[in-house]
Amino acid sequence: MLIKVRKIIGYLIYNSFAKHLPVSYERFSFFSKQIRQICGKMLLDRCGKNVNIEKGASFSSRVTIGDNSGIGIRASILGPCHIGNDVMMGPDCVVYTRNHKFDRIDIPMWKQGFYDEEPVIIGNDVWIGGRVTILPGVKIGNGVIVAANAVVTKSVPNYAVVGGSPARILKMRN
């Protein structure tokens, strides 16, 4: 019960006030990063040390985020997602954890509901460029770089550099 109340308070503070504070790197941000970090600790399932939740980010309370990691400006994380340690995320990233059903053609897609959620897992020391889209069930390995505007439809092995739509391996870092 106490956890639920804490999450509700964190949600209200974040969405009514902290979400709209200046980005963390502006000269006169007046503790924006710290205020959003406090909200993250109240709202998220797990929130590590030195977390940076940027202006305008929207995320599920079922997100976990490791130490020294960030959620980018105007990013949207819809559902359960595990973000490891030392993850950098650019602006306007979207992480989906479920899709619409579309199996039947006799009824409109919006009436068919959704498939079950598939959590997204992002490893440690990952750099996700701006406007990246990550689809349900994807696992991004450690040390991965995801190029800007990539659409990640499949899991990515450790130390890969991926880009494109759909994302493919461009090279390996090791």
Write the pLDDT tens digit of every residue in 115-146: 999 999 999 999 999 999 999 999 999 999 99
Res 25 pLDDT > 90:
no
Res 30 pLDDT > 80:
no
CA 84 vs. chain centroid, Å, equals 11
pLDDT at residue 61, rounded to an integer: 92
pLDDT at residue 172, rounded to an integer: 98
| Phi, psi for residue 37 in degrees, rounded to 5 | -65, -40
- Residues 17-41 have a mean pLDDT of 86
Q: 40, exposed or middle or buried, with CB in 10 Å at 0-12, 13-18, 19+?
A: buried
Residue 3 counted as domain residue: no
Best CA proximity match to 73, nearest among 116, 117, 38, 29: 29
Residue 8 counted as domain residue: no
Residue 167 counted as domain residue: yes
pLDDT at residue 92, rounded to an integer: 98
CA 125 vs. chain centroid, Å, equals 14
Res 29 pLDDT > 80:
no
- Residues 61-67 have a mean pLDDT of 96
* Whole-model pTM over 0.85: yes
Residue 65 counted as domain residue: yes
Res 28 pLDDT > 80:
no
Residue 122 counted as domain residue: yes
Boundaries of domain holding 89: 46-172
- Residues recognised as catalytic: 100
Residue 7 counted as domain residue: no
Res 148 pLDDT > 80:
yes
Q: What is the CATH number of the domain that holds 57?
A: 2.160.10.10
Quick one: what percent of the chain has pLDDT higher than 70? 100
Which has more confidence, 92 or 12?
92
Q: How many domains does the chain have?
A: 1
- Nearest 5 degrees, angle CA 41-CA 12-CA 22? 75
Residue 17 counted as domain residue: no
Cα end-to-end span (Å), the chain: 47
Range with lowest mean pLDDT among 8-12, 58-62, 84-88, 117-121: 8-12
Residue 14 counted as domain residue: no
